[in-house]
Amino acid sequence: MPHHVIYDGNCNLCTNFVQLLEQVDRGDRFDYIPMQDRETLAQFDISEADCAFGMMLIDADHPDQRWQGSAAAEEIARQLPLATGLVEFYRRLPGLKDLGDRAYDQIRDNRYAWFGRREQTYRSAYPCNCPPTTTAAEV
């Protein structure tokens, strides 16, 4: 997988977005890790506090290459063939990127109140098949 999408598996909006991506991408470009999967996130040195800043996207080939929040949403869209031009237009239109960043922050901070919270964490049909990391005791 070229990219790992980290999403809030308890958020209705987030899981609907992931389900839409699953239908469009079919696991070709993205796999998915819910923020509630602490064990897998630990492999990427991602904490619960890190997740508070919104969805994340990690380049699987270069895990140090990461995007978060509205930047992650933009990069996900940029990876989809039909959306690349729209993302470039959005980024270049004066003031629109700043407005999008602020809108993302508002949605992120109010997602449960506005869109509801799932009773069970959504697990994608295309989960991350990340190899487990070894600990010093195992080496």
Distance in angstroms (rounded) separating the CA atoms of residues 39 and 50: 14
Stated pTM of the model: 0.88
Q: What DSSP string describes 45-78? A: T--HHHHTT--EEEESSSTT-EEETHHHHHHHHH
Report the pLDDT value the prediction gives residue 110, as an integer from 0 to 100: 97
Each domain of the chain, given as residue ranges in start order, spans 3-115
The predicted-structure confidence for 55-78, as pLDDT tens digits, reads as follows 999 999 999 999 999 999 999 998
pLDDT (mean) for 102-131: 94
Token pair in block for residue 43? 């492999």
